[in-house]
Amino acid sequence: MSDSSPDAAASTSSSATGVVPSHSPSSSLSKIQASIQTLSAIVPSIPPSLLTSENPALYLLHDPDVSATISSLLRRPDSGSGDNNLCRWLYDTFQSTDPQLQLVVVRFLPVIAGSYLSRAASSGLRAGKTLAGFEAVLLALYAHETTARDGNSVTINIPDISHPSIYHESKIPPSKNNATVLNIAVMSPALEPHGTVRSTRRGRIVGVALELYYSRISQMPKDSKMEFCEFSEKWAGISRPKSSGSDGKAREEGEGGGGRIPLPWEVMQPALRILGHCIMGPSKDVQLYDAACGACRSFHARALQDMDAKAILATGSLLRVAEMSVDPKNNVDHTEIKFTESITV
């Protein structure tokens, strides 16, 4: 099961991405300060300078030490219960509707969802009571997303490129018959409100929370994404025996299978989009790239186990794209000038 030791990866420095929200008005500043004060009662290691900083919510989001402490608290075996203070704080903070504070909660989604799904899968139905704290936070995220999109499904159009588009070179106006046939793809089906987590809806609720995470991913610190990669590996549950002399049974107790969860498409799809960002996103980071590639390989192996054609295609393509992106022969800098023996004016 998920251990409670703080993760080494979480202690490295976080890299802020370029999207920095503007300062919040003073009313929400006091809200943020109140919230952090509550947190400092739960997490003693919060530095006092945090409260006085100009943008405490942003500081909290990107402070590696505080985040590592919170993460390790969330990884404790008893962390997800209904009376857990930290879960309560996360729930209340998210409900505060302050977008900056909400980001802080979303930042911890990988640990929450990761611990939650793995524990729910391994401890069976008895998990119900001990995971109520996690469930409350996840339901809050789910409800937020439900309201944000008014319960509607998310669809996208797949264009028929025999019809003109803004990126077509010939800007000839379309002929009279401009009934463009579009393929409509459902990315995420309609959402119905849920007051409790019914076990068969568990995957969907976490999946929607992951969709929310993905929509904020450019504002997430690296550590959070690293945590996601780590739990993805666990979710896939691909046992990788270290030594060759293992005889099935020995591995059963090993860490290989711990944390494996059912991976329906509703979880797989947002998870793969997140991994795609970690691998191919604009802020290239070698450590994150490696972690995400590892997770993606595990998902690929799992997709083969489940013979899930869509997931095999998606993970396979992502892995090949990742490989090509680091291949020096695909990284010729075309913006470099031609170096010539003689320079003419």
Partner 1 sequence: MVESQCAEPSGNEDQILVRELCANGACMKADEVEAKLDAGNIQEAESSIREGLSLSLEEARALIGRLEYQRGNIEGALGVYDGIDLQAATERLQSLADNNAARKNRPRDSPTSGSQHAASLVLEAIYLKSKSLQKLGRSYDAAQECKSVLDATEKIFQQGISDVQVDNRLQDTVSQAVELLPELWKQAGYYPEAISAYRRALLSQWNLDNDCCARIQKAFAVFLLHSGVEAASPSLTSQVEGSYVPKNNLEEAVLLLLILVRKYSLGKTKWDPSVMEHLSFALSICNQTCVLGKELEETLPGVLHRVERWNTLALCYSGAGQNRVALNLLRKSLHKHERPDHVVALLLAAKICSEDSHLAAEGVEYAQRAATVKAQGSGADDEQNLKGVAVHVLGLCLAKQAKASSSDFERSRLQAEALKSLEIAASLEPSNPDLVFDLGVQHAEQRNLSVALRYAKKYIDATGGSMSKGWRLLALILSAQQRFSEAAVVTDAALDETAKWEQGPLLRLKAKLKVAQSLPSEAIETYSYLLALIQAQRKSFGPVISVSQAEDDKVNEYEVWHGLADLYSRLSQWKDVEVCLGKARELKKYSPELLQTEGMMLEARGELQAALCSYVCGHLMEPTYVPGIILVAALLSKRESEASKPVARSILTDALRLEPTNRKAWYYLGIVHRDDGRTADAADCFQAASMLDESDPIESFTSIY
Site for partner 1 in 184-203 (CB under 8 A): 184-187, 189, 192, 194, 198-203
Contact flag: residue 19 with partner 1 (CB under 8 A): yes
In the complex, least distance from residue 39 CB atom to partner 1, rounded to whole angstroms: 27
| Torsional sign, CA 251, 256, 261, 267 | negative
Contact in structure between 101 and 32 (CB atoms under 8 Å): yes
In the complex, least distance from residue 136 CB atom to partner 1, rounded to whole angstroms: 17
| 202-215 helix and 265-280 helix, angle to the nearest 10 degrees | 20
Contact flag: residue 334 with partner 1 (CB under 8 A): yes
Contact flag: residue 333 with partner 1 (CB under 8 A): yes
Contact flag: residue 51 with partner 1 (CB under 8 A): no
Residue window 91-130: x/- pattern of binding to partner 1, with contact defined by CB under 8 A: -----------------------------xxxxxx-x---
| Burial (0-12, 13-18, 19+ Cβ within 10 Å), 285 | middle
Contact in structure between 122 and 100 (CB atoms under 8 Å): no
Q: Which positions from 218 through 237 interact with partner 1, judged by CB under 8 A?
A: 218, 237
Contact flag: residue 204 with partner 1 (CB under 8 A): yes
Minimum CB distance to partner 1 smaller for 32 or for 221: 221
Contact flag: residue 244 with partner 1 (CB under 8 A): yes
The CA R_g of the chain, rounded to the nearest whole Å, is 23
Among 37, 45, 157, 287, binds partner 1 (CB under 8 A): 157
Contact flag: residue 336 with partner 1 (CB under 8 A): yes
Can you tell me the distance from the alpha carbon of 306 to that of 304, in angstroms, rounded to the nearest whole number? 5
- CA angle, 222 then 228 then 233, to 5°: 130
Contact flag: residue 11 with partner 1 (CB under 8 A): no
Contact flag: residue 301 with partner 1 (CB under 8 A): yes
Among 260, 288, 291, 293, binds partner 1 (CB under 8 A): 260
Contact flag: residue 343 with partner 1 (CB under 8 A): yes
Longest Cα–Cα distance in the chain: 79
| Burial (0-12, 13-18, 19+ Cβ within 10 Å), 164 | middle
Contact flag: residue 167 with partner 1 (CB under 8 A): yes
Of 273, 257, 268, nearest in space to 225 by CA: 273
User: How many residues sit close enough to partner 1 to count as binding (CB under 8 A)?
Assistant: 113
Contact flag: residue 61 with partner 1 (CB under 8 A): no
Minimum CB distance to partner 1 smaller for 150 or for 336: 336
Contact flag: residue 306 with partner 1 (CB under 8 A): yes
Specify the DSSP class assigned to residue 195. Answer: S
| Among the residue ranges 53-61, 79-87, 139-147, 317-325, the one whose residues contact partner 1 (CB under 8 A) | 317-325
Among 41, 65, 168, 287, binds partner 1 (CB under 8 A): 168
Among 38, 85, 95, 283, binds partner 1 (CB under 8 A): 283
DSSP assignment of 27-82 equals HHHHHHHHHHHHHHHH-TT--THHHHSSSHHHHHHH-HHHHHHHHHHHHSTTTTST
| Torsional sign, CA 79, 85, 86, 87 | positive
Of 22, 154, 40, nearest in space to 99 by CA: 22
Among 3, 49, 174, 287, binds partner 1 (CB under 8 A): 174
In the complex, least distance from residue 25 CB atom to partner 1, rounded to whole angstroms: 23
Of 271, 275, 197, 62, nearest in space to 70 by CA: 62
Among 233, 273, 288, 291, binds partner 1 (CB under 8 A): 273
